[in-house]
Amino acid sequence: MSDLPFGIDFGGTGIKGAPINLETGEFAEERVRIKTPSKSVPEAIAAIFVDLLAHFPECTGPVGVTVPGIVHHGVVRSAANIDKAWKGTDADRLFTEATGRNVHVVNDADAAGLAEVRYGAAKGRRGLVIVTTLGTGIGSALIHDGVLVPNSELGHLEIDGHDAETRAANSAREREGLSYKEWAKRLQKYYRTVEKLFSPELFVVGGGVSKESEKFLPLLDLDTEIVPAALLNTAGAVGAALYAVEQGN
């Protein structure tokens, strides 16, 4: 197991990590989950990563980390759902120095997209695949013929004068008490807009609500095939590990 990469999924509520078998896209060992501290400044998270990696002393491969923000050459450029201190932090450098490992960070939706294209619902598909995550906001990943176009942020498209995710994210459905039929009308407008702009080969819908996909995806009328994600809550860590290995090559 020594050369296996390690994937860490860092979110606003939890930090999950495990060695990843990139042959299968599965956890090589049971993951460890640590609650994200209320003061989630970069240095505090780096210390947690050190503790997390200590659970797997035999795993010495590269480390991939998801970050819920825009990442440009290892530097975090936005911090919507994490401490504002992250903005401008060279996370690749911070985590590499703290852990003594080769660490690469990637946007969380981009990581999920990479995992779905390599191992999940979009495996074997050519052309442009757009993976969206419906949660607190709407994350997105654009992958063309297996190559990631990072930091697409399609949840922030302006539709009818609104930031799209404020009306079409799963949090909006919950906040407003919308039925799945009512919510599907908003998703229809969102995905139709994205479809017109990008003409993708496939939409993949992730996020926790994708487990209920049969309640809303059949209600959408699009020209593009749209399917639920396959990897669910493992996609972030798997995609992060895959990204770290590819960055090292």
Q: Are 131 and 140 in contact (CB under 8 A)?
A: yes
**Domain 121-230 CATH (choose: 3.30.420.40, 3.90.1200.10, 3.30.565.10, 3.40.50.1370):** 3.30.420.40
C-beta of residue 201 within 8 angstroms of C-beta of residue 117: no
Is 6-108 a CATH 3.30.420.40 domain?
yes
Domain boundaries, the chain: 6-108, 121-230
93: tokens are: 């450098």
Look at the block and give the residue holding tokens 């095939």. Answer: 225
The string of pLDDT tens digits covering residues 228-239 is 999 988 999 999
- Could you check whether 6-108 and 121-230 share the same CATH topology? yes
pLDDT digit string, tens, across residues 173-192 = 999 999 999 999 999 999 99
Angle at the Cα of 25 from the Cα atoms of 208 and 213, rounded to 5 degrees:
25
Per residue in 92-138, pLDDT (tens digit) is 999 999 999 999 999 999 999 999 999 999 999 999 999 999 998 99
pTM comes to: 0.93
pLDDT greater than 90 at residue 198: yes
* Residues 103/62, Cβ–Cβ less than 8 Å: yes
